[in-house]
Structure 1
Amino acid sequence: MDAFVLRFPRTGIVNVVFNILDRLSRDPGCDLTILLQDYQFARPELAQFAQSLKSKIVEETSLDRKIYRLRRFAMDRGLTAKLPLSCQIRRAIDRCDIYHCTDWYYFPSRKAHKNVITVYDMTTRLFAQHHERTNIVKEARKARNLRDFDKVIAISESTRRDVIEYTNVKPENVVTIPLGVDATYEAPHVINRDDLLDYYRIPRERRYILSVSTIEPRKNVVGLLDAFRLLKQSSQEYDDVLLILIGPMGWGNHELTRHIKDYPYKDQIFFPGYVALADMPSFYRHASCFAYLSFYEGFGIPILEAMKSSCPVVCSNASSMPEVIGDCGELVTPSEPCEAAEALRRILDRTSYADDLRTRGLKRSLTFTWDRCVERLLEIYRA
């Protein structure tokens, strides 16, 4: 299985791959080998996990290096990363029975009985303006290879529809398998609210709205700031409310930087950056509301994390997000901050309504589990 992404911090796709590998590694009928670029990892727990599994390094030969130089000169000028070569990948996977590409090594094995690939979204096709060129090129090449895989796994019905519409894959070969949440959320150790906020230097006496994502244009942080401004301006009742935006800084945040420069409530916005996974359930649990106004998601794991943590949710009515939230939260148009401000007011003003959303959201979250995801995945491997 492709495990290239384990080299990055535990967000997004990294968490997906980790949780799938964790369960597959414990299945007695699965002889698992992971594919890595090297043994460099951003997080020690991921290094320890990867080293507990059988692994194979995608080796680079002198011929590969020559091909890279030629391709960079002819095709790939300006790319910030080396995209994989088919010859490299096929050398590494030529003896497997089943090959599963989870992101980076997007070439099928010519000898495997079955080739499977996971597609998380089509955002580089639909919102190319929100991506770096390297990612756009990588995803375009991956999309061209989808027809060579036996099964394409989409993480939501929305993603499945997009794959069928924008690639040449037959609909019967695209299967939807929803995701789950990390085991950290199953029986979390909830940190005392004051201790948590003191540690991250956030005023402990204030209510807060939480948002969790990589800080980049597609996540519509500017739209969330506009909704927060409208909320604050609507009544002095919200003077105590803060906005906490958890997640690493991504790329292309020039507009956000300009927006914050003259923002009237910038002293009431906190960017803690990357937060340890063990602390995340506590941030959700103590929040008055979770807000997620992304323009497009392949699934929307933070929405599910909030539901699992009994936190009421306001999220976009776009792409996959309605599939996750169902009727257990507030759905709003991401380009209309006034809708989000109204939804936030309803939750902040009506304790009984917020409590109802907490209860219904938690109940719905129980239908999304990694065990079910991997059970379905194993059915596809063995079919």
Structure 2
Amino acid sequence: MNKILINALLVSEKSSGIGNYGYNLINSLDRLDLKYDISSLVQKKIESNNIDIQIKQCSNRYHRILYEQIPLRRNYKNYDLIHFIDYSSPIIAINTPFIVTIHDLSFYKYPETFNYGSRRIKQILAPISIKRSNKVIADSKNTKKEILSRFNINESKVKVIYPGSPSYNKIEDIRKLEAVKRKYGINQDYILYVGTIEPRKNLLRLLEAYHNLLKQGIKEKLVIVGKKGWLYEDIFKKVEELGLDKQVLFLGYLPEKEKVALYSGAKVFVYPSLYEGFGLPPLEAMSCGTPVVVSNSSSLPEVVGDSGIYVDPKRADSIAQGIYDLLDQKKLREKLSLLGVKRSKKFTWEKSIKNILEVYDKIL
């Protein structure tokens, strides 16, 4: 039986983005009767019946990267195929065939939204991973297009496989919703954002847009859910500068159940990101029946389709108008809620895993 290792070290106790991708990949594979001997390297305990879960705790991202580049590299020879869920293949070439999932190239498109260390590491490792890999999996058509425009590789080497949507459903039990709202001091209707707090997510313009909406008389609070990323200090300074301390709630990283409750209870979900490789939070919100306002750029139109309101992420007034239109029109919210639930069902991990296993099959 061929042996496969999934390097999913970004799966940790507070996973977001790529870490969530890895977690869902592992869980979805574990449900199947596999013809491969699959192991996965992660940073937290995962219950598994069919996959060998190997845990390696790393103190920070630099510790993780160093471990991947030196000690872990020696182990790759013990496998027939490696799947990197991020651009983390070793700088010193390995003989084992490997696949890399590329989620986005934001560090090229918006380098100013990364700190210097993170940007340089990604710009070094991404070309190596893409060029040496046997196959590149891209999260979206937009990501594939950008890979092909930047790197001199054959179009057939890159396969688009959309991630699946989590199995979220709208929570209808008002008592459960109110319990979570009380816990976090939410005592009125609210606009919700979920995602890492970092410049690429465009929260500075969201705060400006929200400030303008308050001037127009809206009463909803702005609730921001997600852990701090990098270069987040200006975001908190902007809240103070605009005098929004009482209107904007930063709740940090939340457990899945509480996050689903907040999605379900939100009047509007807003995601004005400058750039996304896929864009999972809007899909999560749509699964819960919450109407979404998203950027009209990168991969987001692929995900949201005709089920949301699109705005120009580089204009605070456009973001404000998109939010206002949804807040002001109940029938539009109801329409997009239904369309969003329907749209979210197109993205399943069953489909994703089927396509990923086909990639494994062709290499092995």
Q: Normalised by the size of structure 1, how large is the TM-score?
A: 0.85
Give the match for residue 151 of structure 1.
135
In structure 2, do the counterparts of structure 1 residues 353 and 56 end up closer, same or farther at CA, with 3 Å as the change threshold?
A: closer
Alignment of 1:166 onto 2:150: yes
Task: Look up the equivalent residue of 1:208 and give its one-letter code.
Answer: Y
Question: Is the contact made by 1:84 and 1:105 (CA closer than 8 Å) also made in structure 2?
Answer: no
Aligned match for 1:14, one of 6, 19, 31: 19
User: How many residues are aligned here?
Assistant: 349
What displacement does 1:123 show? 0.8
Alignment of 1:264 onto 2:248: no
Counterpart mapping for 1:302-381 below 5 A = 302-381=281-360
Give the match for residue 183 of structure 2.
199
Structure 1 or 2, whichever has the larger Rg, is 1
Question: Is the contact made by 1:90 and 1:109 (CA closer than 8 Å) also made in structure 2?
Answer: no
Question: Is the contact made by 1:96 and 1:111 (CA closer than 8 Å) also made in structure 2?
Answer: no
Task: Look up the equivalent residue of 1:211 and give its one-letter code.
Answer: Y
Alignment of 1:291 onto 2:273: no
Give the match for residue 181 of structure 1.
165
Q: Secondary structure at the match of 1:266?
A: coil
Give the match for residue 10 of structure 2.
5
Question: Is the contact made by 2:87 and 2:100 (CA closer than 8 Å) also made in structure 1?
Answer: no
Give the match for residue 33 of structure 1.
39
What displacement does 1:231 show? 1.3
Give the match for residue 115 of structure 1.
98
Task: Look up the equivalent residue of 1:258 and give its one-letter code.
Answer: K
In structure 2, do the counterparts of structure 1 residues 87 and 243 end up closer, same or farther at CA, with 3 Å as the change threshold?
A: closer
Aligned match for 1:139, one of 100, 122, 126: 122
Give the match for residue 75 of structure 1.
none
Q: Secondary structure at the match of 2:47?
A: helix
Q: Secondary structure at the match of 1:181?
A: coil
What CA distance in whole angstroms lies between the structure 1 residues aligned with 2:161 and 2:87? 19
Unaligned runs of 5+ in 2: 1-5
In structure 2, do the counterparts of structure 1 residues 201 and 11 end up closer, same or farther at CA, with 3 Å as the change threshold?
A: same
Task: Look up the equivalent residue of 1:34 and give its one-letter code.
Answer: S
Aligned match for 1:227, one of 209, 233, 236: 209
What displacement does 1:153 show? 0.5
Q: Secondary structure at the match of 1:290?
A: strand
Counterpart mapping for 1:68-83 below 5 A = 80-81=62-63, 82-83=65-66
What displacement does 1:202 show? 1.8
What CA distance in whole angstroms lies between the structure 2 residues aligned with 1:88 and 1:159? 31
Counterpart mapping for 1:34-73 below 5 A = 34-36=40-42, 41=43, 46-49=44-47, 53-55=51-53
Task: Look up the equivalent residue of 1:221 and give its one-letter code.
Answer: L
Give the match for residue 252 of structure 1.
231
Unaligned runs of 5+ in 1: 60-78
Q: Secondary structure at the match of 1:5?
A: coil
RMSD: 2.4
Task: Look up the equivalent residue of 2:17 and give its one-letter code.
Answer: G
In structure 2, do the counterparts of structure 1 residues 187 and 264 end up closer, same or farther at CA, with 3 Å as the change threshold?
A: closer
Relative to structure 2, which stretch is displaced further, 256-265 or 297-306? 256-265
What CA distance in whole angstroms lies between the structure 1 residues aligned with 2:108 and 2:94? 28
What displacement does 1:323 show? 0.8
What CA distance in whole angstroms lies between the structure 2 residues aligned with 1:135 and 1:277? 27
What CA distance in whole angstroms lies between the structure 1 residues aligned with 2:107 and 2:212? 31
In structure 2, do the counterparts of structure 1 residues 250 and 192 end up closer, same or farther at CA, with 3 Å as the change threshold?
A: same
Task: Look up the equivalent residue of 1:360 and give its one-letter code.
Answer: L
Question: Is the contact made by 2:162 and 2:352 (CA closer than 8 Å) also made in structure 1?
Answer: yes
Q: Normalised by the size of structure 2, how large is the TM-score?
A: 0.89
- Of all paired residues, the percent bearing the same amino acid is 28
Alignment of 1:96 onto 2:79: yes
In structure 2, do the counterparts of structure 1 residues 35 and 275 end up closer, same or farther at CA, with 3 Å as the change threshold?
A: closer
- What do the CA deviations read for 1:89-137 (whole angstroms, capped 9, x no partner)? 442111322211112641498554x421100110111111111233222
Q: Secondary structure at the match of 1:99?
A: strand
What CA distance in whole angstroms lies between the structure 2 residues aligned with 1:265 and 1:139? 35
What CA distance in whole angstroms lies between the structure 1 residues aligned with 2:56 and 2:203? 37
- What do the CA deviations read for 1:240-271 (whole angstroms, capped 9, x no partner)? 21100001122212322331222133311100
Q: Secondary structure at the match of 2:32?
A: coil
What CA distance in whole angstroms lies between the structure 1 residues aligned with 2:322 and 2:196? 23
Task: Look up the equivalent residue of 1:94 and give its one-letter code.
Answer: K
